[in-house]
Amino acid sequence: MAVLVIAELNGTQLATDLTAKTLTAAEQLGPVDILCASAGCGAAAEAAAQFQNVTKVLCADHHYYGNGLAEPLAELIAGLASQYNHIVGPASTSAQNIIPRAAALCDCMMISDISAVIDQDTFERPIYAGNAIQTVRSKDTIKFITVRSSAFDAMPTGGSAEIVQIECTGDPELSIWLNDDSAATDRPELTSAKIVVSGGRGLGSPEDFALISLLADKLGAAVGASRAAVDSGYAPNDWQVGQTGKVVAPDLYIAIGISGAIQHLAGMKDSRVIVAINQDSDAPIFQVADYGLVADLFSAVPELTEKI
Amino acid sequence: MKVLVPVKRVIDYNIKVRVNQDGSGVNLNNIKMSMNPFDEIALEEAVRLKEAGKTESVIAVSIGVPESQTILRKALAVGADRAILVEATDDPHIDIEPLAVAKILKAITAEEKPGLILMGKQAIDNDMNATGQMLAALLGYGQATFASKLEIDGDTAIVTREVDGGLQTLKVRLPAVVTVDLRMNEPRYPSLPNVMKAKRMPCDIRNPAEFGVDINPRLEITRTVEPREREAGVIVDSVDALVSKLREEAGVI
Ligand SMILES: Cc1cc2nc3c(=O)[nH]c(=O)nc-3n(C[C@H](O)[C@H](O)[C@H](O)COP(=O)(O)OP(=O)(O)OC[C@H]3O[C@@H](n4cnc5c(N)ncnc54)[C@H](O)[C@@H]3O)c2cc1C
Ligand SMILES: Nc1ncnc2c1ncn2[C@@H]1O[C@H](COP(=O)(O)O)[C@@H](O)[C@H]1O
């Protein structure tokens, strides 16, 4: 039986990187269909149809799904679930909101944030903020899964799947969307960037956090932050990296003025190369850093920005 | 209106977790256990709603080992009015799965009829991030997950959610399930007199069988191992040295 992948959408646009990495995990489980559900998602469905190894794209184009609300989307997915053995989405806030709800509607357990597929029923997933890796075997007939995208490569394009319009199940109107508050940026997306520059409490103020942005812009990097930096108002919540923020694994991660608490490491320790700049030589971040520089960030970071 | 707050007993977030070498799980012997940090925030929010006159009472509930009474006592000390412990196992290594927890919470909801269920977005032991969504599904309620701000407005709640793209605001019809993120509030410490008082307050002890819920796991845990260790790196002595390492050795810039 087949696998249903829930496409990640930003409004009506396909989030290609997250969807492509989810597909790579899903493709190991069987033939893949993709569900695109939103209001006016025709172009997203066409984009999804271009991934390799996709049989068909189910397009649920209706205003019920326009704001990504969990209640109508979970109902839609639960209605389709009996035709599949696996329902798979990225471990994004959107899919993580919807897929457990759909799982419970089908009386199935949830398997969140898998980092490897062992076989059709068996998966690896990090627990305890990544301090342990658990192997679980599911006894459910339908497995509801979210995927840690940083652990999988992106599925290439070059395919041409069939697109079918599907019936929309309705909206129970349990919740109403009021607004989205997201800042547009020209920087690469945090979870797909090749380089991430992150700042912590050591930056000391929102004004000085600009040192991080300047370095990031010079490198064409995304900007990340520790929880302390977000809590202190230096950076918006969607920049947080860690156990409760985003999980990233870029080629290069530069941690500046970040101590390296386990909850922060949970979100970045699988990066290929890690650089830490911190004035405290005992900071735990140095235990995971490939290159450490013990220095005052207020002199080191401008110098680095200039010399790179 | 009543608010129901499910709280889970987990390894304290400050403890470095050790994995048993035989792959059987993590070491829980003589380890400090605490209330899941997200649940402390949910509880704090519920107590603030009570203090603001938006709710009459707060009920804390935990499902797990008998020792979970300790975190329920803490909930009472912080301001919960009543506590319910569902003794589901004697073995601290057995984690009751989110689906089973949600089914038990559904049964308790049927008894207590809360107007709002406020819970953590994620338990920091299994990191599953599922129970609230599952409970909302089983109850047929609306849900607002990963909340950083909550306002009760008549028979609805206005909730700001922390999402990948920034912030999203929803209006949810009550009763509803709200799961909280870290930035909703700063939980208080209970005062000593309240801690003493909480010791004498009753805690209702229940059993999953009373609710007719099957708590047998759907996921079999076959192995638990340590993550791959990173090799120790080097300390460079200047920005110039760092730049040359990144260019020549690592080839990342
Ligand atoms: C349930 C839970 C979930 C959490 N989830 C996350 C998460 O997802 N992400 C996350 O990041 N945290 C998370 N945390 C918080 C985490 O435990 C830490 O509190 C947080 O990561 C600390 O941030 P920080 O390193 O910026 O601050 P600090 O620990 O205060 O470190 C600041 C560092 O800056 C250095 N510094 C100061 N001034 C300078 C200077 N002039 N030059 C150079 N260095 C300087 C200091 O030496 C220090 O090492 C979570 C906590 C809990 C309880
Ligand atoms: N055994 C339990 N007892 C009480 N509440 C729980 C239990 N397990 C999970 N929860 C609640 O569900 C939330 C999410 O947990 P999880 O889905 O396991 O990540 C927690 O923050 C708690 O509020």
CB distance A243 to ligand 1 below 6 Å: yes
Residue ID of nearest Cα to ligand 2 atom 21: B120
Q: How confident is the model at residue A263 (pLDDT cuts 50, 70, 90)?
A: very high
Pair of tokens at residue B237: 């002595």
To which residue do tokens 């049964």 refer?
B107
Mutation site for A-interface testing, chosen from B168, B169, B183, B222 by largest number of A Cβ within 10 Å: B168
What is the tens place of the pLDDT at every residue in A143-166? Answer: 999 999 999 999 999 999 999 999
Residues of chain A in contact with residue B145, where contact means CB-CB under 8 angstroms, are 70, 93, 96-97
Average pLDDT over residues B75-85: 98
pLDDT of residue A1: 81
Mean pLDDT of chain B: 97
pTM of the predicted protein model:
0.98
CB distance A86 to ligand 1 below 6 Å: no
What is the tens place of the pLDDT at every residue in A203-249? Answer: 999 999 999 999 999 999 999 999 999 999 999 999 999 999 999 99
First to last CA, chain A: 52
CB distance B104 to ligand 2 below 6 Å: no
CB distance B85 to ligand 2 below 6 Å: no
pLDDT of residue A139: 97
For residue A184, is pLDDT > 90? no
Q: Measured between alpha carbons, how far is B147 from B7 in angstroms, rounded to an integer?
A: 17
Q: Measured between alpha carbons, how far is B114 from B176 in angstroms, rounded to an integer?
A: 9
CB distance B5 to ligand 2 below 6 Å: no
What is the tens place of the pLDDT at every residue in B20-38? Answer: 999 999 999 999 999 999 9
For residue B230, is pLDDT > 90? no
For residue B186, is pLDDT > 90? yes
pLDDT of residue A76: 98
Q: Which atom of ligand 1 is nearest to the CA of B37?
A: 1
Mean pLDDT of chain A: 97
For residue A40, is pLDDT > 90? yes
pLDDT of residue A181: 94
For residue A281, is pLDDT > 90? yes
What is the tens place of the pLDDT at every residue in A66-105? Answer: 999 999 999 999 999 999 999 999 999 999 999 999 999 9
Least CB–CB distance from A178: residue in B16, B97, B171: B171
For residue B231, is pLDDT > 90? no
Q: Do B239 and A295 touch (CB under 8 A)?
A: yes
pLDDT of residue A291: 98
Q: Do B242 and A93 touch (CB under 8 A)?
A: no
Q: What is the 3-state secondary structure (H, E, C) of chain A?
A: CEEEEECCEECCEECHHHHHHHHHHHHCCCCEEEEEEECCCHHHHHHHCCECCEEEEEEEECHHHCCCCHHHHHHHHHHHHHHEEEEEEECCHHHHHHHHHHHHHCCCCEEEEECEEEECCEEEEEEHHHCEEEEEEECCCCEEEEECHHHCCCCCECCCCEEEECCCCCCCCCEEEEEEECCCCCCCCCCCCCEEEEECHHHCCCCCCHHHHHHHHHHCCEEEECHHHHHCCCCCHHHEECCCCECCCCCEEEEECCCCCHHHHCCCCCCCEEEEEECCCCCHHHHCCCEEEECCHHHHHHHHHHHC
Q: Do A252 and B236 touch (CB under 8 A)?
A: no
Q: Which atom of ligand 2 is nearest to the CA of B36?
A: 21
Q: Do A127 and B224 touch (CB under 8 A)?
A: yes
pLDDT of residue B232: 80
Q: Which atom of ligand 2 is nearest to the CA of B95?
A: 1
Least CB–CB distance from A134: residue in B140, B221, B235: B221
- What ipTM, to 2 d.p.? 0.97
Q: How confident is the model at residue A183 (pLDDT cuts 50, 70, 90)?
A: confident
Of all residues in chain A, the percent with pLDDT exceeding 90 is: 98
Least CB–CB distance from A112: residue in B128, B148, B161: B128
Average pLDDT over residues A251-272: 97
Average pLDDT over residues B45-66: 98
Q: How confident is the model at residue B161 (pLDDT cuts 50, 70, 90)?
A: very high
Q: What is the DSSP string of B10-43?
A: EE-TTSPP-B-TTSS-B--TT--EEE-HHHHHHH
For residue A290, is pLDDT > 90? yes
